[in-house]
Amino acid sequence: GFIPIDRDCKTPFENVFAIGDVTSMIVTENMAVPKAGVFAEGEGITVAKNIISKLQSKDASELFDGKGGCYIESGRETASVIEVDMFSQPKPSTSISAQTSENLSSKREFEKERLSKWL
């Protein structure tokens, strides 16, 4: 099974956080946050902020916003952007942009940024 977490990425165990593909963050009765790197990254940032708050003896808790996106290369030197908001109301939302060369340039910059940031 998966480790259940709340939007602050806390598990049912005190002082234990979890992120990524091993977790289950329920959005609606029949939907959970998808198992995708963009969401794991957001959860990781949420956990880091919550650990820092805890170390500084602050009561505030950061909540994962449930937002993420990805690029889809569509050929002919173009790409689209898909954006997801898992916690939008009244239900999760998804949008997809037009296919443009600017989106492909943004995708390539995103790749460079992530590779230099995380590797």
- What digits encode the pLDDT tens for the residues 2-32? 999 999 999 999 999 999 999 999 999 899 9
Could you read off the pLDDT of 86-98 as tens digits, one per residue?
999 999 999 999 9
In angstroms, the Cα distances linking 46 to 6, 43, 65, 100 are: 11, 5, 9, 32
Strand 31-32 to 26-28 pairing: antiparallel
> Is the pTM for the entire model greater than 0.85?
yes
Q: Give pLDDT tens digits for 47-84.
A: 999 999 999 999 889 999 999 999 999 999 999 999 99
pLDDT on residue 109? 97
Tell me how far apart the alpha carbons of residues 62 and 59 are, in angstroms, rounded to a whole number.
10
